[in-house]
Structure 1
Amino acid sequence: MDFISTLWSRVTLVSAPLTVPMLVGALVAGILLVLLPGAWHTVRHAVTVVHEGGHALVAVVTGRSLTGIRLHSDTSGLTVSRGPKTGPGMVLTLLAGYTAPALAALGASWMLSRGYSAGLLWALLLVLALMLLQIRNFFGLWVILVGAALVVGVTFLAPATWQLVFGHVVTVVLALGALRASLELQTSRRRSRNGQSDADQLARLTHVPGLAWVFVFVLVALVCAIADAWMLVPEGLLTQP
């Protein structure tokens, strides 16, 4: 009982707000990680983890049987579930992928705006632990273990201020990463034309054009990113002299 109380007190610990220079630095770092090509290829794995986690979560919630998750070195991923090949459950499962990182960033922004950086880190650890149980290839296992090691290190070794900085960087990466991945989806659809993207599968199931689903993904990511900025950036910061 004491252990649970101690753990809960750590999870719900409220951190003091970041100073303006540290906040700006964290936000800029997250933005650069998404915009710089080399860095983007690396951090996109984190976006893919959340993307596939979204597929998996909704598949289970809608009653489908989750078979496994694969993560690939080209930053793509695959979540396999068993169940009806048509119907609302399949549509929601496909819809969850590209929207998951944006919605996850929205939840993370809410937590950070209230100082729950420790709670966010523990939430990330829980997600990675659940993903670990479903990973079915070695590269995917490597990605999850490296991510878990990084989050564990920050959770147990970093001061509260740096936990908050890390949380902001991760949140920006997920928010802008969701937007960039959604925008890049249309380019990849034009290049491959294999009809296997989430948008193409949704088009076949709903008879709504794939381009319309890409627009939905982009719109969700954009709205969430605006909400993230509203929560993370203190009022008046951008207008300070």
Structure 2
Amino acid sequence: MDTEHITDVWDRVFATQPDPSFWLVVATAVVALAVMLPYSAWRISRNAITIAHEGGHGLVALLTGRKLDGIRLHSDTSGLTVSRGKPHGLGMVLTAAAGYTAPSLLGLAGAALLAAGHITALLWGATALLLAMLIMTRNAYGVLTVVLAGAAFFLVSWLTTAEVQAAFAYAVVWFLLLGGVRPPFEIQGKRRRSGGRVDSDPDQLARLTNVPAAVWLGFFHLVALCSLFGGGRWLLEL
């Protein structure tokens, strides 16, 4: 690959793209709601939230110095991230807290990129993150899910027009922001139905910190709603 070609790719990825129309932004929000609100659609689309959730656990585990053993994604949209290190302390707390906050925070970061006009950079950045996650995925269904997601981002960024890239990127970011709100409510309902006898992230955090699981659930709700509010304002240019 010659220097000129590398420069062309660099310019293509990091150049700014024109803002899409307001109605395209609104339409992509409606599409995100359509695949997030109905349970039949959510059963499938929730796989994307699980990827972000487990990827958040894995990324923070590495950033805090833990050894990441692997990530598993299951067809029922559950997942498992296994890391090694001290079973207590700040690193373990941050790793456990990263899952439910990751989709919303990724959506917020994506909204910031889109507001700055970096649509292609967002698509390539997502592709790179998915490739890194693929290396650590340890089951066949997880590999298939991550490969399909990564291929979608790459093909859209490389083969489609600027309008299609914008529509795809805005739909994904809206879905992360909106979809990040639902899982804390789901685990809250599951804990209520089981009388709190659930080995969930909030329960693990409660054992690590002696802070009640309900407080951690409130924190997850706060992060999701604040991210939706802030990211939505950026996307709608309010």
TM-score, normalised via structure 1 length:
0.94
Where does residue 41 of structure 2 map in the other structure? 39
The answer on whether the counterparts of 1:15 and 1:161 sit within 8 Å (CA) in structure 2 is no
1:190 to 189, 192, 205: 192
> Is 2:200 the counterpart of 1:200?
no
Which of 66, 69, 73 is the matching residue for 1:67?
69
> Residue type of the partner of 2:230?
A
SS in 2 for 1:34: coil
In 2, Cα distance between equivalents of 1:154 and 1:10: 13
Q: Alpha-carbon deviation of 1:203?
A: 0.4
Structure 2 residue runs of 5 or longer lacking an equivalent are: none
Change (3 A) 1:205 1:17: same
Q: Which residue of the partner structure matches residue 79 of structure 1? A: 81
Q: Is the 8 A contact 2:115 2:237 kept in 1?
A: no
* Deviation beyond 6 Å, 4+ runs, structure 1: none
CA contact (8 A) 2:29 2:175 kept: no
> Using the alignment, how far apart are the partners of 1:54 and 1:146 within structure 2?
19
User: 1:129 is matched with which residue: 124, 128, 131?
Assistant: 131
Query: Which residue of structure 2 aligns with residue 239 of structure 1?
Result: none
Q: Does the 8 Å CA contact 2:73/2:142 hold for their aligned counterparts?
A: yes
Equivalent residue, structure 2, for 1:50? 52
| TM superposition shift of 1:191 | 3.7
Q: How many residues align?
A: 235
User: Is residue 221 of structure 1 aligned with residue 224 of structure 2?
Assistant: yes
Is 1:210 matched with 2:229?
no
User: Aligned AA for 1:226?
Assistant: F
- Does 2:105 correspond to 1:107? no
Return the offset for 1:36: 1.7
SS of structure 2 residue aligned to 1:67: strand
1:8 maps to: 10
C-alpha distance in structure 2 between counterparts of 1:176 and 1:224, whole Å: 9
Question: Tell me, what secondary structure is at the counterpart of 2:106?
Answer: helix
- Letter aligned with residue 225 of structure 2: L
Instruction: For residues 88-117 of structure 1, give each alpha carbon's deviation from its aligned partner in whole angstroms, at most 9, with x where no partner exists.
Output: 110010011111111100110011112111
Cα RMSD, aligned residues only:
1.3
Is the 1:195–1:201 contact (alpha carbons within 8 Å) kept by the matching residues of 2?
no
Shift of 1:194: 4.3
* Rounded Cα–Cα distance in structure 1 between residues aligned with 2:22 and 2:81: 40
On the 8 A contact 1:43/1:173 being kept in 2, the answer is: no
Asked if structure 2 preserves the Cα contact closer than 8 Å seen for 1:104 and 1:174, the reply is yes
- Cross-structure match for 1:238: none
With normalisation by structure 2, the TM-score equals 0.95
Query: What are structure 1's unaligned runs of at least 5 residues?
Result: 236-241
1:26 counterpart residue number: 28
Query: Matches of 1:223 and 1:127 in 2, distance apart?
Result: 24
1:38-81 alpha-carbon deviations (Å, 9 max, x no partner): 22122211111111111111111111100000001111110000
